[in-house]
Amino acid sequence: MKKGFAPVSPTQKSKKQNNRTQPISVEHLQASLSTYFDNIQDPRVDRTKQHLLKDILIITILAVIAGADGWEDIENYGLSKQEWLEEFLELPNGIPSDDTFRRVFEKLDPKILEEKLSQWLQKIMGSVSSEIIPIDGKSLRGSYDREKGLKNLHLVTAWASEQRLVLGQVKVEDHSNEITAIPALLELIDITGAIITIDAMGTQTEIVRLIRQKKADYVLTLKSNHPTLYNQVKDWFNIARTQKFMGIEVSYDSRTEKEHHRIETRKVWAVSVASLGGLYKQEQWAGLRTIVMVERIRHLWNKTTREVHFYLSSLPVDAPINGRVIRQHWSIENQMHWSLDVTFNEDKCRIRSLNSPQNFALVRRMALNAVNQETTLKRSLRQKRKRAAMNNDYMMQILKCFCQA
């Protein structure tokens, strides 16, 4: 009997799991938060500083994790949790008002929060080598101001699909587009060894050159915004398929999935650039090795649809690999954009004055990262946020990800 009930030494996995569930001390939390939020340049004049900037920023992040959508929600969270917040924040004059939160985020330089996001990611992220990083734009539909003639804010974001982390965001300036914002975003983040995916807007020779300069690979959508190249590739594949790729080395992959009351078949063909006998201005596409064609056939209950897309790739001529990368590009829509709109109510948010919409968008992305990194509770993002709002111990569990070094 004794042998049967003898204590078993924990495995490496169980030790790691125990470490995840161990509570963080208040002292450790204070020290870690101070490394991020102390010494931030305060945009306010001295006579108006009744509350510490660090306290304002931390309360905002916690409130957004817990479900806050605006300034009144943040003040409400602070008042409801004041006794607990006083354990690790100074709060010299209690909880700031909603107007105080608003004024601070209107004036705060967004680059400051971008630096804090980058600083935090450097400590919690693993290597991005071989990571698929989709880059895509998203508009904050509620950020327009008709009276002031302001259009809604448009942001370009990079997403680490496997680690489920927002790596950075850049605002698309007025009278500009994503073509100018994407290089600025690429300069902001480390992409060494990663695979960058971008839709047709970002399929530009200068963007390709920058990706290769930063020692990353790419798979970019080719559409009719490059009409000569697109038609050349399209015509070549039409002829090659008609002749069943006779005499051409081609990598092929086909997969069928059944979900959401539909059957989808994806067929992928990958050929070397040399097989096409030279492309229009081929020398301008740095590192280009492979041309990919993807055919998607979807059988719905009432109709069947067929789509054909083409891609420029610096990856080897391997249809399964290129197909997986192309498929993974949509994780930025399904896992990030959808979560921000549906779980964080981003499109419904009417914060729109000065720097506040861009700053609040950054806070949402920091909150999304934090909740995604907490894996001990196997629930949806929505349920995790509700648990964090109701249970201070679980909020501390989420805050542990800020303290990983």
Q: What percent of the chain has pLDDT over 70?
A: 93
Instruction: Supply 258's token pair.
Output: 């059944």
What average pLDDT is seen over the chain?
Answer: 88
Residue 86, pLDDT > 90, answer yes
Residue 340 pLDDT grade (very low, low, confident, very high; cuts 50, 70, 90): very high
pLDDT in tens, 178-225: 888 999 999 989 999 999 999 998 999 999 999 999 999 999 999 999
pLDDT in tens, 298-328: 888 788 889 999 999 999 999 999 999 999 9
Three-state secondary structure readout of the chain: CCCCCCCCCCCHHHHHHHHHHCCCCHHHHHHHHHHHHCCCCCCCCHHHCCCCHHHHHHHHHHHHHCCCCCHHHHHHHHHHCHHHHCCCCCCCCCCCCHHHHHHHHHHCCHHHHHHHHHHHHHHHCCCCCCCEEEEEEEEECCCCECCCCECCEEEEEEEECCCCEEEEEEECCCCCCHHHHHHHHHHHCCCCCCEEEECHHHCCHHHHHHHHHCCCEEEEEECCCCHHHHHHHHHHHHHHHHCCCCCCCCEEEEEEEEECCEEEEEEEEEEEHHHHCCCCCHHHCCCCCEEEEEEEEEECCCCEEEEEEEEEECCCCCHHHHHHHHHHCCHHHHHHHHHHHHCCCCCCCCCCCCCHHHHHHHHHHHHHHHHHHCCCCCCCHHHHHHHHHHCHHHHHHHHHHHHCC
- pLDDT at position 22 is 66
pLDDT in tens, 216-272: 999 999 999 999 999 999 999 999 999 999 999 999 999 988 877 788 899 999 999
Any idea which of 44-48, 71-75, 97-101 has the lowest mean pLDDT? 44-48
Residue 4, pLDDT > 70, answer no
Residue 33, pLDDT > 50, answer yes
pTM of the model: 0.88
pLDDT in tens, 98-136: 999 999 999 999 988 888 888 788 777 778 888 999 999
Q: What percent of the chain has pLDDT over 90?
A: 62
- pLDDT at position 30 is 79
- pLDDT at position 20 is 53
- pLDDT at position 26 is 78
Higher pLDDT, 165 or 26: 165
- pLDDT at position 300 is 86
pLDDT in tens, 160-173: 999 899 998 888 87
